[in-house]
Homo-oligomer: A and B are copies of this chain.
Amino acid sequence: MVKLFGRRPRRSDSARPGARRSPSDAVNRVDLEELTPDLLSYLGQAAYLQLVIFETLGRAVATAPSIASKEAMSRVAGLSLAKHHGLTAEIVRQGAEPGPTMQPYVAAIDNYVRITAGADWYETLVTSYITSGLLNDFARQLAGGLPADASARITALLGADDGHEIIVAELRSAIEANPRLASRLALWGRRLVGDTLLAARSALAANGHPDEARLEPVFTELIAAHTRRMDAIGLTA
């Protein structure tokens, strides 16, 4: 099972006393901050996810059907790479090395990448748009549970421009030129939201075994934002 933003593998919770808030803080719903992994686990996962998003965008640059699309996607790839390097800089600031910090999460995230890889340029674009949107929303919610100074820096970094307006323009014009793309890409978007939220839910369950019902509002918000992203490209979520 793929897990995104799980705690560090083989690390006992008893080693992090006081790191979680009391469950009584949240009555009707779980705030994701309760389930935030420790800072380096968070950063290792966020940085590696951003790196694989960059790789997907790099593939979109290499396989773009026109020079204009290639150039446009190179902008998005640059924004994604800058976020990755911002996250690795934060790892270094914490006194750790990026490689070893990301290493424990490589296998699970590579598996996620494998199951969410698109079959062609259009699906690849939808993948980078939809998965980066969902993962970014999820990561920003979890960032609330990090130490305050790191939380502020990371939230600002993740909130920076992700070039989505460029991807939206590419996808809208592609669908306009070939309306038959719409139903295939709508299905692909559903597959992606399913895979991504299952992986996120699985990680949360492993982090804190919260009451499933109390997690529901968090996922409802993530899905609402996803629906707005699908709307922006003219597709039904």
Contacts and interface: CB of A to CB of B under 8 A. Distances in A.
Interface of A: 48, 51, 54-55, 58-59, 61-62, 66-68, 70-71, 74-75, 77-78, 81-82, 84-85, 88, 98-100, 102-103, 106
Given A78-B81, A85-B78, A102 B58 contact: no
A61 B77 CA distance: 13
Given A59-B62, A62-B59, A81-B81, A54 B74 contact: yes
Q: Count copies of this chain in the complex.
A: 2
Contacts of A85: 74-75, 78
Contacts of A66: 99
B55 A61 contact: yes
Contacts of A78: 78, 81-82, 85
Nearest to A55: B62
Most buried by B among A61, A66, A106: A61
Contacts of A48: 67
Given A74-B51, A74-B85, A103 B67 contact: yes
A48 B68 CA distance: 11
Contacts of A98: 71
Main secondary structure of the interface of A (DSSP, over half): helix
Contact of A88 (B51, B54, B59, B71): B71
A81 B88 contact: no
Contacts of A58: 54-55, 58-59, 61-62, 77
A82 B74 CA distance: 10
Contacts of A100: 67
A61 B55 CA distance: 7
A51 to B, nearest CB: 6
A62 to B, nearest CB: 5
Contacts of A67: 48, 99-100, 102-103, 106
A98 B75 CA distance: 12
A233 to B, nearest CB: 21
B74 A99 contact: no
A164 B77 CA distance: 21
